[in-house]
Structure 1
Amino acid sequence: MARKIGSRYTANQILGRGSAGTVWLGEGPDGPVAIKLLREDLASDQELVGRFVQERTALLGLDHPNVVSVRDLVVDGNDLALVMDLVRGTDLRTRLDRERRLAPEAAVAIVADVADGLAAAHAAGVVHRDVKPENILLDMQGPLGPGGSHPALLTDFGVAKLIDSPRRTRATKIIGTPDYLAPEIVEGLPPRAAVDIYALATVLYELLAGFTPFGGGHPGAVLRRHVTETVVPLPGIPDELWQLMVQCLAKAPASRLRASELAARLREQLPLLAGLPPLEVDEPDAEPTEEPSEAAVPGEPTGARVRRGAVPLVPGAKPDSNRDTHTSMRVPAPDELAGGARGTARVPRAAGAPRPGSARHRSSAHRRRIALGAVVVALVAAVGVGTWLATSGDDDTPPPATGSSASAAP
């Protein structure tokens, strides 16, 4: 059912729903547009409306081939909407759901496009704060790039910042999607451009591996991993590319590359990646664990880890084509972060290899222990027999016969 958005736009068809609002296919004075209509409770927040108006100039000024341009911001009664360019294609999450992982050349080309878009945004003083596959659109009508990749455009600029008002979140809340949150956000520091670099490197890892480096399980455990764990190497990618990813996933924001540097360095890697097939790695937490997690997810089987690209923060929320998670969540206390990450390590492994700690891994280790024990027993027995033979040769008195093996006296 069509509805008017302000005086200039008409929303005709829902394209997707998320926790922040609904995306519509709409029509404006210059043709088709995408309209992100924020939730009514957000539209009724006068502080948020004020921030919405303040961000207008910055958002409308973003003009780059790898950024979905914001054409207009509409405040009309209960309607609060971003009017954006319409991209004819799909989002990167949909492609990942279909293919699970991409060939390295295509993955790097897509991320380089997004890095170019972020460079333009950061130069304009705009931090995205929610870089993830759902917010990366692939233009199916654009020219094919390296590895057959479609041009990538970053969308949803400003939405996380608009919702993250001081009154709404205070200092005890964070906004974003757990799998892609930089450690400094988890620790309560203000988000700067480096958080987008960390999130984009996480996206690249996910495109290559099929899972995020610190994701899986309860959102609290995911947040803790970002702070306490070190990313584990992915088998099968060039060392130069891996070192580049490690630098952008550094815990210290100052150690990460700038967006423009990341884009240039990634494009330097493209010739080395031509023709490489998708990686063959197994997801660390694909198998159920024996010990239940400290905080179980409602509705999730006890002691199970479920593969997911992003952990929804809205209780009971069901995935949809947009799957936004612009929802506040409590910042873990220092003692919780300092508790370590025992039992949460996510170590990629070659395809078919058992996950450390899994039933297959424990069974294999048990068999090795049995085999080692048998060898030790055999060595001890051999040493004992050798010692007896050595001592019996010097003794004129034969040892007494015992048991059924004794022979009859002549």
Structure 2
Amino acid sequence: MQMAQTGQALGASYRFGERVGSGAVGEVWTVTSTDGRTLAAKVLRPEHADDPSLVERFVRERSVLLGLQDSHIVTVRDMVVEGERLAIVMDFIAGGSLRDVVKEAGPLAPEDAVNVAAEIFDALAFAHSRGVTHRDIKPDNVLLARPWSERETGDIRVSDFGISDVVGEKIRQTTGLIGTPQYMPPELISQGRSGPLGDVYSTGVLLYELLSGRTPFAGPGTDFSVAYRHVSSRPPRIPVDEALWGILDQLLSKDPAQRPTAGEAVSMLRRLAPKLAGTAPIARVEAPEDFDDVERHATVVRGAFTDDELAAFAAAPAAGVDAVVPDLGQAGSATIARPMPRREVQSRMDDRPEEKDTTPFWRTRKALLLAAGAVLLIVAMVVGFILLSPTSPQAAPTPAGQQLSTQLQDPATPTGLTISRSAAYEPSSGQVRLTVSYSAQKAPLSGEFLEVIPGLAENDACPAVTWDGATASRNQVSITGLDVECGWKLSGMEIPAGGSIQATAKVPVAPTDQKSLDAWLRSGSEATKAATQDPAVKGTAYPVQRLKGVEVRTPARVVTPSPLKITLVPVWAGGADELNPLYVSPSSGKPSQMLAAVTGGEKGLRFADGCGGALAVDSSGLTVTALQITPQCTVRASVGNFTELQSAPFGITSRENAGD
């Protein structure tokens, strides 16, 4: 296959610029599109492009990757299949990577490290909700929208989502690995595969590195020795806040079931971040001489290798052990995509000659197993008779006066709002204390929010609620258009970009057990989401919770030179709302309350030329003028958390031809 060269065409829409990097699966180049945009293209290596099955997977994954649109994910724009060349075209992110930050800045202040990790978990939570797992989270794959010294909230971008799904379908099975040794979750080493909770683990390793300047298991030995420590060793304790270490300990759990989900990790870190403000970075941590083994690490689920094989791989060749060690690449921090040797499983019966068994039957293993089974059956029958007997005592209910607590987090809305709820029942008060946390991503959010507080049982009356932290009133269907029982309108809520606020409610309900409390909290969350996403609802109430998208509308033809009329149309669950525009440019008068709610006002809105210089955008980014005649043009827009909007094509003509 011909290697890429500067100036060479890539498909029909791009031209190669400069090579900016290379990795295990391909090279990264800047490319220029036909409309003048600078993008990045990952060109897969020839050995991948020559695989017919990979080309099939490449095409199959196209719609998934193109649909992975989130403010914390590097957006995939196109996937090019050109002869033997396969390339993934994505946004070019110019601020460098977290790898550069780790090298230059060393350990970060805990608050900074936690906020960076929270934004990575935002990206993971979104991808996992769409069924996409990253499988190679590390600082190299986390990019910055601008240099670290100029960073702002929302600048984190996770790249290479879906790359492993394109190149690693066969490799990831029990005969291969894809990942980076210093960041590999233990189940990848022991089973040969991992899922979304593996991404959580790798991000925990990255957070550890941001805090300490090194990954937890980096140290002497081969690359497989480093990887094996994820299975066999405890992460060395670093001198950070106890609460922060507690979260790290959960993220780095050997058992995937003990780790939080990405969404839960976001909530945990964002609650902790304000408490870490002003805490200085710790000194760079050196690798320990020895790593502490975990207790009974053999309980980790296995499938790819046996314990003896794993231990042999980790010891060779430093200990002189004769073992064929899987090739994990040149360095523990480099992504690998390598086949691993197959294990030939041979029946032990084939290893020894036939011998006639002269042991009496009553002393054979089979006889003993049959006897043990009979005893267990008799015991089970006796226990079952006792339990089913009418005179047997009933199962003890939950002890009266027991304290209960639970929590729940909703997926982020398109506007960037995440709602987390926690409920605690105090028997002494006979009330549940409900805490509702509202978090924003890239844009500040404000206005009115709906919260449904149901009764404990399905037919119970709506409870009387006492609110703190927000101005609360009953939702009125005649005003909001949302016909929902037990709904509350919370006003005066202003959430900063990347921040969160809380409102608390005292609710006079008394759940009898944990299951009852869990069901009550879940019913309130589900009722709130159902009401705000009801396609039959008309009107503009609760825009932060209800807005699904924004359409950029322009006239079909524009005369030059003249201002371009741009209308931003809100899209609700029921469709586009042309009667209540978010914004009209050129603007006259104050911005709409909806725009202020979802972007913070005009400061969260920007237009851009989408047709290579035919449009001029003023310094405010709010007024666009048609300058050059062109048959087809578009205008791009960024509206708060909606960062990749584009109008339908329109033409620009001269005044002389306007009447033609």
Normalization by structure 1: what TM-score? 0.69
Q: Which residue does 1:402 correspond to in 2?
A: none
Asked whether the 8 Å contact 1:241–1:269 carries over to 2, the reply is yes
CA distance in 2: counterparts of 1:276 and 1:14, whole angstroms = 39
Gaps of 5+ in 2: 1-5, 291-313, 321-326, 344-660
Distance change (3 Å), C-alpha of 1:294 and 1:191: closer
Q: Distance in 2 between matches of 1:141 and 1:103?
A: 17
Paired AA for residue 165 in structure 1:
E
**Do the aligned residues in 2 keep the contact of 1:220 with 1:332 (CA within 8 Å)?**
no
Contact in 2 for aligned 1:175/1:327 (Cα 8 Å) = yes
Deviations 1:11-38 (CA, angstroms, capped at 9, x unpaired): 1111111121111111114411110011
* Counterpart check, 1:8 vs 2:23: no
Instruction: Tell me the amino acid that sits aligned with residue 154 of structure 1.
Output: V
The answer to whether residue 85 in structure 2 is matched with residue 79 in structure 1 is yes
TM-aligned CA deviation for residue 196 of structure 1: 0.3
Which amino acid in the other structure matches residue 160 of structure 2? Answer: D
- 2:316 corresponds to which of 291, 295, 299: 295
Q: Does 1:242 align with 2:245?
A: yes
Counterpart position of 1:106: 112
Distance 1:210 1:142 in 2: 16
| Counterpart secondary structure, 1:57 | helix
| Larger helix proportion of the pair | 1
> Which SS does the other structure have where 2:96 is aligned?
strand
Deviations 1:113-140 (A, max 9, x none): 1100111100000000000000000111
2:9 match: secondary structure = strand
- What is the CA-CA distance between 1:59 and the residue it aligns to? 0.7
SS of corresponding position for 2:27: strand
Give distance in 2, aligned partners of 1:169 and 1:182: 13
Distance (whole Å) between structure 2 residues aligned to residue 149 and residue 95 of structure 1? 16
Is residue 176–residue 340 contact of structure 2 (8 Å, CA) maintained in 1?
A: yes
Aligned to 1:44: 50
Q: 2:66 aligned to 46, 60, 64, which one?
A: 60
Deviation at 1:154, TM superposition (A): 0.3
- How many residue pairs get aligned? The number is 307
After TM superposition, the structure 1 = structure 2 runs for residues 91-130 of structure 1, keeping only pairs within 5 Å, are 91-130=97-136
> Residue 328 of structure 1 aligns with which residue?
338
Q: 1:220 aligned to 214, 218, 224, which one?
A: 224
**1:70, 1:84 within 8 Å by CA — same for their partners in 2?**
yes
* 71-80 vs 324-333, which moves further: 324-333
Tell me: CA distance 1:62–1:52, structure 2 relative to 1, closer, same or farther (3 Å).
Answer: same
Q: Quick one: higher RCO (CA 8 Å, sep 6+), 1 or 2?
A: 1
Which amino acid letter does the alignment assign opposite residue 50 of structure 1?
E
Maintained 8 Å contact 1:187/1:331 = no
- The match for 1:20 among 22, 25, 32 is 25
Alignment match of 1:314 (pick from 321, 324, 329): 329
Contact 2:17–2:31 (CA<8 Å) still a contact in 1? yes
CA distance in 2, matches of 1:170, 1:203: 25
CA RMSD of aligned residues (A): 2.7
Structure 1's unaligned 5+ residue stretches are 288-292, 304-311, 334-410
1:52 partner amino acid? F
Alignment of 1:1-400 (within 5 A): 1-30=6-35, 31-140=37-146, 151-166=155-170, 168=171, 170-216=173-219, 217-235=221-239, 237-285=240-288, 294-296=315-317, 313-315=328-330, 325-328=335-338, 330=340
Separation in 2 of the partners of 1:272 and 1:255? 25
- 1:197-229 Cα distance to aligned partner (Å, 9 max, x none): 000000000000111112233122122211111
Deviation at 1:331, TM superposition (A): 7.5
C-alpha distance in 2, partners of 1:180/1:142?
A: 23
The code of the aligned residue for 1:278 comes to P
For residues 124 and 42 of structure 1, the distance between their equivalents in structure 2, rounded to whole angstroms, comes to 25
Larger mean CA deviation between 23-32 and 39-48 belongs to 23-32
Contact 2:96 2:147 in 1 (8 A): no
Query: How many angstroms does 1:149 deviate by?
Result: 6.7
Instruction: Give aligned-pair identity as a percent.
Output: 37
CA distance in 2 between counterparts of 1:331 and 1:249 reads 28
Instruction: Sort the Cα spacing of 1:182 and 1:141 in 2 relative to 1 into closer, same or farther, 3 A.
Output: closer
Q: Does the 8 Å CA contact 1:20/1:324 hold for their aligned counterparts?
A: no
TM-score of the aligned structures, taking structure 2 as reference length? 0.44
Aligned partners of 2:231 and 2:254 also within 8 Å: yes
Amino acid at match of 2:237: P
Q: Give the residue type in structure 1 aligned to 2:162.
A: G
Q: Is the 8 A contact 1:140 1:150 kept in 2?
A: no
